[in-house]
């Protein structure tokens, strides 16, 4: 989902959450947007470029599968674990879940999903592919 929609829907949802969570909605709102920084980091590492406009085009046009660390089940589990110790992480987790719901809702419109949902699953597949490639 494009960043402007994350900002719009995040703002609307946080507006309604304000009576429940007070100023902590700022953490939820920022987390629901800033999680997408992993797209840009992925682009910088893989394309060796800081051009944010090209990074945006890369993810809009790309049809390959990639792993985005903040968009994985492991990141959710880590935040869930950390939220046991400090409420800040609970609100970050809330924002990330909100972000995931918006991403998943948006991506139901497409045939393919570019990002892989689990780091462990991704690495296991990669190791397995290498193993089978070596047997041929």
- Shortest distance in whole angstroms from residue 34 CB to Zn ion: 10
User: What Cα–Cα distance (Å) separates residue 90 from each residue in 22, 63, 75?
Assistant: 14, 33, 13
The site for Zn ion (CB under 5 A) is made up of: 36, 103
Q: Which is nearer to Zn ion, 75 or 91 (CB)?
A: 75
- Shortest distance in whole angstroms from residue 81 CB to Zn ion: 21
Q: Which residue has its beta carbon closest to Zn ion?
A: 103
Tokens for 53?
A: 């406009």
- Shortest distance in whole angstroms from residue 53 CB to Zn ion: 18
- Shortest distance in whole angstroms from residue 36 CB to Zn ion: 5
Q: Which is nearer to Zn ion, 74 or 103 (CB)?
A: 103
Count Cα neighbours of 82 within 13 Å in the Cβ-side half-sphere. Answer: 13
Angle at 126 between CA 44 and CA 56, to 5 degrees: 25
Q: Which is nearer to Zn ion, 5 or 18 (CB)?
A: 5
What does the alpha-carbon distance between residue 10 and residue 7 come to, in Å, rounded to a whole number? 5
Specify whether the CB–CB gap between 94 and 31 falls below 8 A: yes
Q: Which is nearer to Zn ion, 61 or 84 (CB)?
A: 61
């Amino acid at each position: 989902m494009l960043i402007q929609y994350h900002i719009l829907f995040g703002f609307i949802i946080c507006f309604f959450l304000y009576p429940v969570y007070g100023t902590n909605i700022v953490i939820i709102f920022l987390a629901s947007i800033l999680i997408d920084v992993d797209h840009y980091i992925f682009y910088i590492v893989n394309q060796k470029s800081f051009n944010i406009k090209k990074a945006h085009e890369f993810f809009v046009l790309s049809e390959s599968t990639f792993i985005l660390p903040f968009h994985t089940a492991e990141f959710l589990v880590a935040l869930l674990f950390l939220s046991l110790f400090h409420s800040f992480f609970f609100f970050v987790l809330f924002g990330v879940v909100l972000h995931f719901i918006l991403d998943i809702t948006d991506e139901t419109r497409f045939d393919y999903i570019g990002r892989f949902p689990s780091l462990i699953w991704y690495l296991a597949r990669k190791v397995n592919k290498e193993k089978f490639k070596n047997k041929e």
